[in-house]
Structure 1
């Protein structure tokens, strides 16, 4: 099995990678045989005091992060050193928050800034951050783009809070160099007060040709799914929603098996009704029988380990070895995002 790199982002300018049995796993690991991994985080200073929520590991050595005040960092040595490679911004744009980033190599990346109106933007680079091109600027006052994902090196979708009663999507077919609004006729109507969360870059995700978006602001939190990114169906989850709560992160490991994480960010220690799992491609969701230790903003499957995933949030980190049915805490520090990468 190729080596794994499991990156997470703290809220205070640190990155981390997890050390333990998932990096050198036994032949089989799962709840059914009573064995669980023993994990800990190895903290890696980035040299920055910004808050990072965008995270894009490419391999065991290459990763990109993005965050507050227009900051983008890149490592090419597994997190030991970090270089500031963000776009040059004017004084009026210097406070942009880059909440999501996607990368394919040490040279190529796409970064999304959040905010109302023109603060929602997409920049892309093909030379390691030496130059950046602005490829999308939101022109709709009601739109607020939260996160994006790519199914390959060309096609990606970003999701905004509702515009005219439906979540707004934009799509790129050329790796982020240009974007167009997706026809909203195939999207379900949003409920009054429903919105997405730009907490970890995982309120939209894609796997095995399918797409998923997560939302809150209403009770319960809901997840929409699509087989092509154009026609969507929405499903209630057991995750409790509200003005500051709902589903923050949705991730699938194949066309059928998925996890959903969330809670209420104003009640970060709340450890009830904050996680669910699906075995049918988001047609139905079942509440976890043992929940993570609080509100969780980000999650990621561990490549190559069936049913193993991580979740992180401001009160700690958790893992599951049974596909999201039960969660086990292993760290009580604060993280916003987590992603797992497998060396090519």
Structure 2
């Protein structure tokens, strides 16, 4: 793990959490310059959370996956407000229900969300997040999950696997049954053909509009077929004021020109008013809300592979395997956008 205090010009090596040398870390959430939580992904107790309060000089183990058949995929936290829910952790299904945990104290303690746990009550009471047969979540970029407490605690997550991809909301879903069966799951979220290696991998929004996102961009595909460009992005947007999230699917934006391969991460750059998405075989941008995507290629001053081999975006940074880090430049619409530090 690395840490920067100057926008990415210099990087410091962090201490390794004790006993974690062989773990696969997939998610990191920072509260300030000294406080952060990192999540490892793996079967059973290989899924763990560690917290630092001294700028990653030392780490404390705060949570181990209690499900021996579980696998954690994403974590999202917001700044602590005393007494309020401020974090969500989600994993693959256990006993046919997605494993969801919540925290109200900055990640020091976690409890299960759902009918049998201590989740908050929605319009139809506490709920379990029922998974379809063969459905799963991908841990590629820590972007399968979105979370906000702007008005009410709300989280969204995207799925994939053999059952086909879905977008799921904590406030309105078929988990509740009648009269709260306002489902917005749809075969329009069709990424890569419904195999175990395909589905929706990441999502990003323009902004939260009350307790609902204004626009949601979903990207994915089939990670075993990184060059396959068919149905790798989809934009979902609100069509009215204070409508249930199910109506987002009334007019989805399916790209006429798709990103040119499987994509594992996406972000919205509000300053440049564009979407950017990355994957193993390249980088794409869209300036028309996902109607059309075009690939970016390196400029003469960039490394030849500056557009490739990326896994996740957290603006202004993009990261890839083996410690690869890039920093987003202002896009002039003709030059490449990433460079190695």
Give the structure-2-normalised TM-score. Answer: 0.73
Distance 1:248 1:203 in 2: 6
The alpha carbon displacement at 1:224 in A equals 0.5
The alpha carbon displacement at 1:226 in A equals 2.5
Higher relative contact order (CA 8 A, sep 6+): 1
1:1-40 mapped onto 2 (5 Å cutoff): none
Distance 1:113 1:99 in 2: 6
SS for the counterpart of 2:7 is: coil
Distance 1:239 1:180 in 2: 32
Is contact 1:112-1:123 (8 Å) kept? Answer: yes
1:152-231 mapped onto 2 (5 Å cutoff): 152-153=79-80, 155-184=86-115, 186-207=127-148, 208=150, 210-227=154-171
The equivalent residue for 2:338 is none
Is contact 2:191-2:222 (8 Å) kept? Answer: no
Distance 1:250 1:278 in 2: 10
Most deviating of 184-193 and 137-146: 184-193
The alpha carbon displacement at 1:256 in A equals 2.6
Is contact 2:253-2:290 (8 Å) kept? Answer: no
Structure 2, unaligned stretches of length 5 or more? Answer: 116-125, 177-181, 208-212, 239-244, 298-306, 318-341
Is contact 1:238-1:286 (8 Å) kept? Answer: no
Distance 2:94 2:32 in 1: 34
The equivalent residue for 2:185 is 235
Distance 2:219 2:226 in 1: 13
SS for the counterpart of 1:118 is: helix
The equivalent residue for 2:57 is 130
Q: Which has the higher strand share?
A: 1
The alpha carbon displacement at 1:305 in A equals 4.3
Distance 2:195 2:96 in 1: 18
Is contact 1:277-1:323 (8 Å) kept? Answer: yes
Distance 1:304 1:77 in 2: 20
The RMSD of aligned alpha carbons is 2.4
SS for the counterpart of 2:136 is: coil
1:320-331 mapped onto 2 (5 Å cutoff): 320-331=286-297
Give the structure-1-normalised TM-score. Answer: 0.72
Is contact 2:228-2:262 (8 Å) kept? Answer: yes
Distance 1:223 1:268 in 2: 22
Distance 1:222 1:176 in 2: 27
Is contact 2:114-2:129 (8 Å) kept? Answer: no
The equivalent residue for 2:266 is 299
1:265-344 mapped onto 2 (5 Å cutoff): 265-280=223-238, 281=245, 283-284=248-249, 285-306=252-273, 308-331=274-297, 332-340=307-315
The equivalent residue for 2:242 is none
The alpha carbon displacement at 1:334 in A equals 1.1
Is contact 1:136-1:179 (8 Å) kept? Answer: yes
Distance 1:234 1:118 in 2: 33
Structure label with greater radius of gyration: 2
1:146 equivalent among 73, 76, 79:
73
- Once the two structures are superposed, what CA deviation does each residue of 1:1-45 show, in whole Å capped at 9, x if it has no partner? xxxxxxxxxxxxxxxxxxxxxxxxxxxxxxxxxxxxxxxxxxxxx
- Once the two structures are superposed, what CA deviation does each residue of 1:59-115 show, in whole Å capped at 9, x if it has no partner? xxxxxxxxxxxxx2101122222112144323xx31111100011222111100001
